Amino acid sequence: MTTRPPAEIGMPLDEVDTPALIIDLDAFERNLARLPARIAGSAVRLRPHAKTHKCPVIALQQVARGAVGVCVQKVGEAEAMVYGGVRDVLVTNEIVGQQKLRRLAALAHIARIGVCADDAGQVGALEAAAAEARVTIPVYVEVNMGGNRCGVEPGEPALNLAGQIADAPHLSFAGLQAYHGSAQHLRGWDERRAAIAQAADKAGSTRDLLARYGIACPVVTGAGTGSFEFETGSGVYTELQCGSYIFMDADYGRNLDHDGAPTKTFEPSLFVWATVMSRPAQERAIVDAGLKALAFDSGPPLVWDEPAASYERASDEHGRLALSAPTNRLYIGDKIRLVPGHCDPTVNLYDWYVGIRNNRVEAIWPITARGAVY
Amino acid sequence: MTTRPPAEIGMPLDEVDTPALIIDLDAFERNLARLPARIAGSAVRLRPHAKTHKCPVIALQQVARGAVGVCVQKVGEAEAMVYGGVRDVLVTNEIVGQQKLRRLAALAHIARIGVCADDAGQVGALEAAAAEARVTIPVYVEVNMGGNRCGVEPGEPALNLAGQIADAPHLSFAGLQAYHGSAQHLRGWDERRAAIAQAADKAGSTRDLLARYGIACPVVTGAGTGSFEFETGSGVYTELQCGSYIFMDADYGRNLDHDGAPTKTFEPSLFVWATVMSRPAQERAIVDAGLKALAFDSGPPLVWDEPAASYERASDEHGRLALSAPTNRLYIGDKIRLVPGHCDPTVNLYDWYVGIRNNRVEAIWPITARGAVY
């Protein structure tokens, strides 16, 4: 189940086989530094979401730049992070089923493993797994911020669940999971600001309600790449869960900043490296990256190196580029960079990152949580 | 880079961890038998597309039921098939770049490996790779059937390329790749019939033109699950490349048959097995299969086991089911089957098939070409 990497260390970029997932290391490192710089001096701490990169090598670089640990969505991702050296992992999700709960509790022997709950029955199942493994698991109450996905409603339902967690002998109540996912891609800055203001109200009033009942809420965790500045300034949130900031993608690139222009807070550093495999007509070039090399849930990729070309249509292993103007590139064998529409599910299609600096392969990092859906 | 399988042989289906890619083996075997039965007595032979299943265990079952070999799209898929015991593989695609051409030629030492071309420069590159490896490679001219993807135009351009292939010392001209991809999902039976009639005209007249110039065209290969009956009856096509027939998917299920009803030629046999991980409201259930467990390029999955539920929205690791009526199922921990919108890119997300019969795990097959994009 292993694939050979599409490159070797030291190889010129032009020789890297395609499709490959490449990282512009200079841009990546700028992104890596920008978010800590933006929140320096505030009260919030960074816990980046590793569901984006699925790679403990990157997680440890985030920790080295001040992150308290990482988030994941799946037990398999938590395993990959812990086995890759990360010591503090929050599963920002409900974990259901005895097999997964046993794996989760086993990890708690060697790392701090937090998890979310939004149901009393689940608190019982978590307690049973923690007791069996003789560990104490920090549990966060997931609160519905308006995305209408998982989560209890703010206020009393959250209070009740927090109380149950606090009463469970092998669980500790650790805080509120208050991520507002559907706010991340609201295009307008004011829209996102308003959505997060509402979320902060819900999270803050819930935290205060808990306090009135004697339940301390040490952490309110949430935020994403699209909204972090609002959570940072909210006075409610204590942790940020941004993931995509290290890579960016075409969809996040369509978000507008406070000046109404597309956001420049972070820059694209992740690309799919593709080859023109057919050039049957002047106005059409076919590349070797299609539905199995790129995620299309947030639209097609951007063609990064060639303004005359746009990615028009995908099939399993083909991408059709439409050429709106003459170009002396995009002949058979030419290689180009594509910016994925959505970075997270695109990363999940690959086993290796190929890190590029000065047009040479400097790093090949295994994506050890690729496919870790369970 | 390996993930543990989500099941063990003999385990009840209910215990299979989720998300998992499960095969209903009875339905799968019915599909496997139906296509050979449908073409029995005709002149066409079956060469199923292995890009659908990416699994030599399945390929060999197809060969055992009369297939002459399989198709693939990528060199990595060809390697997986040959290393899994398949002796005749056609790469229905252009292969560009010296690394890939060397790998392709190396495979030709141990299996029959065909490949497509649509460019004179590519014929030169194929010849060089075949000469270096001291093999002879069968090459098919890909002809544009109207999908405007790869392929030379029918008639003279195809003739010229076939002549170049025939003249190359280490290549043999093997036939025409005449797949009409964009016809597969035309919903109406008459639309598909008309599209394939045009394709057969183009392929047939090109074949006849080649014959007039003394170039024999032993094979005209094409067809898919949506159109195979038309190629079979065309008198032009000699090989069928159907892939999805073994699994079906929600998108193919929307094709209409000659009676105007949704096609019943094949039945869904491939499912994503998912768990309800949150049930925050009566009208909403959240399952653990999202953008990393299902491909969404052809729409959301169908909820197979629960008519009251529809898959409404996906995020990376969540799927939101909308419940239009009360149900006494879909509580936390309940598991359900989802029919993928598009089977091929969904399969590419998994490392294992879990084969189910009589609600027990009977087989666990490795998807060895998962991720074989290069």
Q: Which two tokens stand for residue A5?
A: 């990497």
- The tens digit of pLDDT for each residue in A265-305 reads 999 999 999 999 999 999 999 999 999 999 999 999 999 98
- Residues from chain B that touch A144, judged by Cβ atoms under 8 A, are 280
pLDDT of residue A1: 42
Answer yes or no: is pLDDT of B111 > 80.
Answer: yes
Contact flag A280-B374 (C-beta cutoff 8 Å): no
A88 touches chain B (CB under 8 A): no
Contact flag A96-B332 (C-beta cutoff 8 Å): yes
Of the residues B83, B99, B143, B278, the best mutation for testing chain A's interface (the one with the most A CB atoms within 10 Å of its CB) is: B278
Across-strand partners of B360?
Answer: B12, B357
Contact flag A372-B3 (C-beta cutoff 8 Å): yes
Which residue in B100, B318, B332 is closest to A119 by CB distance? B332
Omega before A19 within 30 of 0, i.e. cis: yes
Instruction: Give the DSSP per-residue string, A73-100.
Output: SSHHHHHHHHHTT--EEEEEEE--SHHH
B275 touches chain A (CB under 8 A): yes
Predicted confidence band at B242 (pLDDT cuts at 50, 70, 90)?
Answer: very high
Q: What is the ipTM of this complex?
A: 0.95
- In chain B, which residue's Cα lies nearest the Cα of A122? B332
Other CB atoms within 10 Å distance of the CB of residue B373: 31
Q: Which DSSP helix (H) or strand (E) runs through B131?
A: helix B120-133
Q: Which two tokens stand for residue A360?
A: 């040479």
- Strands A284-287, A318-323: pairing kind: antiparallel
Other CB atoms within 10 Å distance of the CB of residue A148: 17
Of the residues A104, A316, A330, the best mutation for testing chain B's interface (the one with the most B CB atoms within 10 Å of its CB) is: A316
Specify the pTM. Answer: 0.97
pLDDT of residue B152: 98
- Residues from chain A that touch B144, judged by Cβ atoms under 8 A, are 280
Contact flag B317-A73 (C-beta cutoff 8 Å): yes
- The tens digit of pLDDT for each residue in A2-53 reads 578 999 999 999 999 999 999 999 999 999 999 999 999 999 999 999 999 9
- The tens digit of pLDDT for each residue in A86-126 reads 999 999 999 999 999 999 999 999 999 999 999 999 999 99
Contact flag A317-B372 (C-beta cutoff 8 Å): no
pLDDT of residue B305: 86
Q: Which DSSP helix (H) or strand (E) runs through B46?
A: strand B45-46
> How distant is the Cα of A97 from the closest Cα of chain B, in angstroms?
6
Which residue in B3, B320, B366 is closest to A371 by CB distance? B3
- Residues from chain A that touch B20, judged by Cβ atoms under 8 A, are 374
